[in-house]
Amino acid sequence: MSTNTLSRNGYVLTRSIFGVRRFIRRYALLEQLLPIGVFTLGLVAIFIANYLMAATDSAFLIAGGVIGAFLALWIVLRPQVGLYILAIFTYLNLSDALEVNFGIPKINQPLIALILVSVLANRIVLRRKPLVFRGVEATMVFYGVVATMSVLFAAANQSAALDRLIDWLKDFAILIIMVQLCDDEQSFRTVLWALILSAALVAGLSWYHTFTGDTQNTFFGLAKSGVHQIVGDLDDVRVTGPLDDPNFYAQILLMIFPLAAYRMLTGTTQAGRLLGALCTVLIVGAAIFTYSRGGFLALVVVTVLLVLDRKYNLLRVALVGAIMVAILIPILPSGYVSRVMTLSDAVASDPTMQTEASFRGRTSEMLIALQMFAENPILGVGKRNYQALYIEYSSVLGLDPRLESRQAHSLYLELMAEMGILGILAFSSILAALFWSTARARRQFRALGRPDLAAWTASLQLGIVSYLTTSIFLHADYARYMWIMFALAASASVLSQAMTERRNAAQRESSQATLPASDLARFEEKDS
């Protein structure tokens, strides 16, 4: 290669480098000017919305469109804002609430797509960072492949199963979004607090329903209640929050319970501990108002694990617990204790002798799931095909008198029936990767001198345990909440690794700065 060619190539490379540097400096300037730009655009949007609302009857749609466009621009410029909106939007089930109350079509998919594109563009193009893709993300892909295969080989309702696969793609996109953004401590903390406060908000509204009896006011779909069976012939109001089933509502409340409880016990500020205590009380109370037996079991399991993790004095904890139980039992909602006591019926040796009708139905559903698995052990009957095939199997079993489509009422039996052995292996691999990575994250945080972040990670582990406990009795109708917890747990390991690498880089720079010039030259030569 000639000298002139080398010179031209060097010139082009130099100009390219300086061009990138100028772009980065301009982008940094744009970031500094962003608050002013957002404020200006906000004022313009207000004036436009005010004019249009005065000129038409579609006030809510216009206002929603203007707000949506404003938020979309904000998300493009600041992907972290999209992360917080996504967490709150998903937990509060706002997509369904907006559709029911204001006629706004579901916007989950476009919202996730917008945030995903913004995150990828910001990370790859502007920040020039590689995408985070590790063992946890790989196990999620494996799960998606198995789900797809189960659908392709299914003989029943493929259209419903394909819809479910689209839901999985949305869940996977949420995971990718969170792990790309939560290598920043502020983003990680903020999204966790966003979930805690969201749970406390709907829990507080459920308290309002319970103590005022004003169940007609749904607060735009955030606080719903309905009359459901408590025990025997006793029916009463059970809160369902932003969902339509009290048991699933207890499930999503109690997966946030350990996050709030750890803030109460390990918060670094008094205000944070007090806020954590308030959120904990609201969440636990609302979970009780659901009358969920699975929720009660999860509350007990997580509380015991929390006490063991924090290494509290077991005798003192048992004494305080006994006093609290003695105080709370007389003031618990009518029928709550009786309903919890029916958990013993679940272990009856003969299903036909069970006294609780719902347990007889669930026994039928579980036995049929086992039968489907036995007949289709590798890939199951196909994702979301259990419900389509239930009546056919139930009429032969003869245990459940209800001639209607039912679901497995157990995440694990549903996995066995619909995705077979490969589905169980795929899901187990996700759990193994998550708990291994979070255990490593806790060790790294402690090595970094950050016990506060180690406590955050421990609370995420217990949040997953809570969800898995309630899933013994519940199928995956609201699986997006489970994937959110998985994504946050994966994000904890991303953050711990990023902080560890930054500390190691700082230590290397510090050691190089203190080396004599001759030693430094030899060190750089060896390193190169």
CA pair distance 139, 401, nearest whole angstrom: 40
Q: What's residue 468's pLDDT? A: 96
Nearest Cα neighbor of 385 from 416, 361, 431, 426 is 416
Give the C-alpha separation, 185 to 98, whole Å. Answer: 32
* Structure tokens that stand for 334 in this block: 């009518």
* d(C-alpha 479, C-alpha 418), whole Å: 15
The Cα 30–Cα 514 span in angstroms is 37
What per-residue confidence (pLDDT) applies to 57?
A: 54
> What's the rounded Cα separation, in Å, for the pair 243 and 235?
19
Structure tokens, 70: 């404003």
pLDDT in tens, 328-371: 777 777 777 778 777 766 554 444 444 455 566 677 788 888 88
Alpha-carbon gap, residue 96 to 107, rounded angstroms: 9
**What are the distances in angstroms from CA 198 to CA 86, 87, 263, 270, 312?**
12, 9, 15, 21, 29
* pLDDT at site 392: 81
Question: Which token pair is 193?
Answer: 């607090």
pLDDT < 70: residue spans in the chain: 1-70, 102, 154-164, 232-234, 344-361, 397-404, 513-528
Give the CA radius of gyration of the chain: 27
The pLDDT of residue 296: 92
Residues with Cβ within 8 Å of 188's Cβ and at least 6 positions away in sequence, in order, are 182, 456, 491, 492, 495
pLDDT in tens, 448-497: 999 999 999 999 999 999 999 999 989 888 888 999 999 999 999 999 99
- Cα dihedral sign, 335-340-341-342: positive
Measured CA to CA, the distance from residue 432 to residue 41 in angstroms comes to: 47
Which pLDDT score is estimated for 426? 94
Q: What 3-state class would DSSP assign to 159?
A: helix
CA-based angle 482:342:459, to the nearest 5?
A: 30
Q: Measure Cα distances from 394 to 87, 244, 286, 361, 418 in Å.
A: 39, 25, 35, 10, 16
The position carrying tokens 């390990």 is: 266
- On whether the CB atoms of residues 343 and 294 are closer than 8 A, the answer is no
State both tokens at 482.
């489970």
Per-position b or e across 435-464, b if 16+ CB within 10 A of its CB? eebbebbbebbeeeebebbbbbbbbbbbbb
Report the pLDDT value the prediction gives residue 519, as an integer from 0 to 100: 55
The residue count of the chain comes to 528
* Interior/surface letters 188-213, b for 16+ CB within 10 angstroms, e for the rest: bebbbbbbbebbbbbbbbbbbbbeee
How big is the CA angle at 337 (ends 336 and 340), to the nearest 5 degrees? 85
**Long-range pairs for 514-519 at CB < 8 Å and ≥24 separation?**
none
H-run or E-run covering 307 = helix 293-310
- Integer Cα distance of 298 and 254 in angstroms: 7
Both tokens of 302, joined, read 């997580």
Give the pLDDT score at 316: 86
> Domain residue spans in the chain?
17-126, 135-506
| Residue 485: how many other CB atoms lie within 10 Å | 23
CA distances from 226 to 205, 334, 456 (A): 14, 16, 35
DSSP of 39-64: HHHHHHHHHHHHHHHHH-S-HHHHHH
Inter-CA distances, 193 with 260, 279, 287, 370, 452, Å = 9, 10, 19, 40, 14
- Taking a C-beta distance cutoff of 8 angstroms, is the pair 114, 72 a contact? yes
How many Å apart are CA 161 and CA 385, to the nearest integer? 7
Q: Is 325 helix (H, G, I), strand (E, B) or coil?
A: helix
Complete DSSP assignment for 384-419: T-HHHHHHHHHHHH------S----S-HHHHHHHHH
Is residue 375 within 8 Å of residue 392, measured between CB atoms? no
The pLDDT of residue 514 is 64
- Tell me which amino acid residue 309 is: D
